[in-house]
Amino acid sequence: MLKTVNVSKTMPIPAATVWSAIAGIGGLERWFPVITACCVIGNGVGAMRVLTLAAGGEMTDRIELIDHGRRRFQYNRIESPFPVSSNLGTVEVGEALDGGSVLEWSVDIDADAESLDLLEFVRQAITDGVAGLEWDLLDSAAL
Protein backbone atom coordinates (compact mmCIF):
# COMPACT_ATOMS: atom_id res chain seq x y z
CA MET A 1 0.00 0.00 0.00
CA LEU A 2 1.51 3.34 -1.09
CA LYS A 3 1.65 5.97 1.64
CA THR A 4 3.22 9.43 1.71
CA VAL A 5 4.98 10.95 4.70
CA ASN A 6 5.30 14.76 4.57
CA VAL A 7 7.38 17.04 6.76
CA SER A 8 7.48 20.82 6.29
CA LYS A 9 9.69 23.27 8.15
CA THR A 10 10.17 27.04 7.87
CA MET A 11 13.72 28.08 8.76
CA PRO A 12 15.37 31.47 9.35
CA ILE A 13 18.08 30.47 6.88
CA PRO A 14 18.29 31.62 3.25
CA ALA A 15 16.92 29.09 0.77
CA ALA A 16 20.23 29.08 -1.15
CA THR A 17 22.07 27.96 2.00
CA VAL A 18 19.60 25.18 2.76
CA TRP A 19 19.61 24.05 -0.87
CA SER A 20 23.41 23.93 -0.93
CA ALA A 21 23.39 21.54 2.04
CA ILE A 22 20.70 19.30 0.50
CA ALA A 23 22.25 19.28 -2.99
CA GLY A 24 25.60 18.27 -1.47
CA ILE A 25 24.10 14.76 -1.08
CA GLY A 26 26.09 13.86 2.08
CA GLY A 27 26.21 15.00 5.69
CA LEU A 28 23.14 13.13 6.88
CA GLU A 29 25.03 11.72 9.87
CA ARG A 30 25.27 15.30 11.22
CA TRP A 31 21.54 15.91 10.93
CA PHE A 32 19.76 12.61 11.57
CA PRO A 33 20.14 11.00 15.03
CA VAL A 34 19.19 7.59 13.51
CA ILE A 35 22.17 7.74 11.09
CA THR A 36 25.73 7.22 12.33
CA ALA A 37 27.56 7.33 8.98
CA CYS A 38 26.89 8.55 5.45
CA CYS A 39 29.17 7.49 2.61
CA VAL A 40 28.62 9.00 -0.84
CA ILE A 41 29.88 7.07 -3.86
CA GLY A 42 29.99 9.12 -7.05
CA ASN A 43 28.74 12.60 -7.84
CA GLY A 44 25.44 14.12 -8.87
CA VAL A 45 22.58 12.13 -10.37
CA GLY A 46 23.36 8.43 -10.17
CA ALA A 47 25.52 8.76 -7.06
CA MET A 48 24.91 6.26 -4.28
CA ARG A 49 24.54 7.21 -0.63
CA VAL A 50 25.10 4.45 1.94
CA LEU A 51 23.61 5.25 5.36
CA THR A 52 24.59 3.31 8.47
CA LEU A 53 21.79 3.19 11.05
CA ALA A 54 22.37 3.66 14.78
CA ALA A 55 20.17 0.62 15.49
CA GLY A 56 22.18 -1.49 13.03
CA GLY A 57 21.83 -2.11 9.33
CA GLU A 58 22.33 0.02 6.26
CA MET A 59 20.22 1.81 3.70
CA THR A 60 21.35 2.71 0.19
CA ASP A 61 19.96 5.61 -1.81
CA ARG A 62 20.44 6.27 -5.51
CA ILE A 63 20.26 9.98 -6.35
CA GLU A 64 17.61 10.40 -9.05
CA LEU A 65 17.30 14.17 -9.44
CA ILE A 66 19.16 17.34 -8.49
CA ASP A 67 17.31 20.30 -10.02
CA HIS A 68 19.15 23.46 -9.00
CA GLY A 69 16.63 25.75 -10.74
CA ARG A 70 13.66 24.36 -8.82
CA ARG A 71 15.73 23.41 -5.74
CA ARG A 72 14.34 19.89 -5.96
CA PHE A 73 16.17 16.71 -4.96
CA GLN A 74 15.03 13.09 -5.26
CA TYR A 75 16.46 9.83 -4.06
CA ASN A 76 15.33 6.26 -4.45
CA ARG A 77 16.06 4.03 -1.46
CA ILE A 78 17.16 0.83 -3.20
CA GLU A 79 18.27 -1.11 -0.11
CA SER A 80 16.71 -0.98 3.33
CA PRO A 81 16.34 -3.24 6.37
CA PHE A 82 12.66 -2.22 6.54
CA PRO A 83 9.75 -4.14 4.95
CA VAL A 84 9.10 -1.82 1.99
CA SER A 85 8.97 -2.52 -1.73
CA SER A 86 9.71 1.08 -2.77
CA ASN A 87 10.78 4.30 -1.11
CA LEU A 88 11.13 7.57 -3.08
CA GLY A 89 12.13 10.72 -1.22
CA THR A 90 11.70 14.26 -2.52
CA VAL A 91 13.15 17.36 -0.91
CA GLU A 92 12.22 20.85 -2.08
CA VAL A 93 13.52 24.16 -0.75
CA GLY A 94 11.52 27.33 -1.28
CA GLU A 95 11.89 30.95 -0.27
CA ALA A 96 9.96 32.24 2.73
CA LEU A 97 8.58 35.79 2.74
CA ASP A 98 10.94 36.84 5.54
CA GLY A 99 14.10 35.88 3.64
CA GLY A 100 14.27 32.45 5.22
CA SER A 101 13.31 29.17 3.64
CA VAL A 102 10.64 26.51 3.59
CA LEU A 103 11.83 22.92 3.34
CA GLU A 104 9.35 20.28 2.17
CA TRP A 105 10.44 16.64 2.56
CA SER A 106 8.14 13.89 1.37
CA VAL A 107 8.65 10.15 1.13
CA ASP A 108 6.42 7.85 -0.91
CA ILE A 109 6.62 4.42 0.72
CA ASP A 110 5.09 1.22 -0.56
CA ALA A 111 4.71 -0.90 2.56
CA ASP A 112 2.31 -3.36 4.14
CA ALA A 113 -0.92 -1.88 5.47
CA GLU A 114 0.19 -2.98 8.94
CA SER A 115 3.30 -0.78 8.77
CA LEU A 116 1.90 2.25 10.61
CA ASP A 117 4.76 2.06 13.10
CA LEU A 118 7.23 2.28 10.20
CA LEU A 119 5.47 5.34 8.77
CA GLU A 120 5.60 7.07 12.15
CA PHE A 121 9.29 6.11 12.48
CA VAL A 122 9.99 7.66 9.06
CA ARG A 123 8.02 10.82 9.94
CA GLN A 124 9.89 11.22 13.23
CA ALA A 125 13.28 10.47 11.63
CA ILE A 126 12.71 13.13 8.95
CA THR A 127 11.40 15.64 11.51
CA ASP A 128 14.50 15.07 13.66
CA GLY A 129 16.78 15.23 10.61
CA VAL A 130 15.30 18.50 9.35
CA ALA A 131 15.68 19.99 12.85
CA GLY A 132 19.28 18.75 12.85
CA LEU A 133 19.90 20.35 9.46
CA GLU A 134 18.54 23.66 10.73
CA TRP A 135 20.68 23.49 13.88
CA ASP A 136 23.79 22.57 11.86
CA LEU A 137 23.28 25.47 9.43
CA LEU A 138 22.56 27.97 12.21
CA ASP A 139 25.62 26.74 14.12
CA SER A 140 27.79 27.08 10.99
CA ALA A 141 26.49 30.62 10.39
CA ALA A 142 27.40 31.60 13.96
CA LEU A 143 31.07 30.67 13.47
Domain 2-142, CATH number (from 3.30.470.10, 3.30.70.2740, 3.40.640.10, 3.30.530.20): 3.30.530.20
Strand partners, 50: 39, 60
Report pLDDT digits (tens) over 69-97: 999 999 999 999 988 889 999 999 999 99
Evaluate whether 23 touches 66 at the Cβ level (below 8 Å).
Answer: yes
Strand partners, 35: 53
Q: Residue 114 — very low, low, confident or very high, per pLDDT cuts 50/70/90?
A: low
SS3 15: helix
Q: Residue 1 — very low, low, confident or very high, per pLDDT cuts 50/70/90?
A: confident
How far is residue 103's CA from residue 115's CA, in Å, rounded to a whole number? Answer: 26
The pLDDT score that the predictor gives to residue 113 is 60
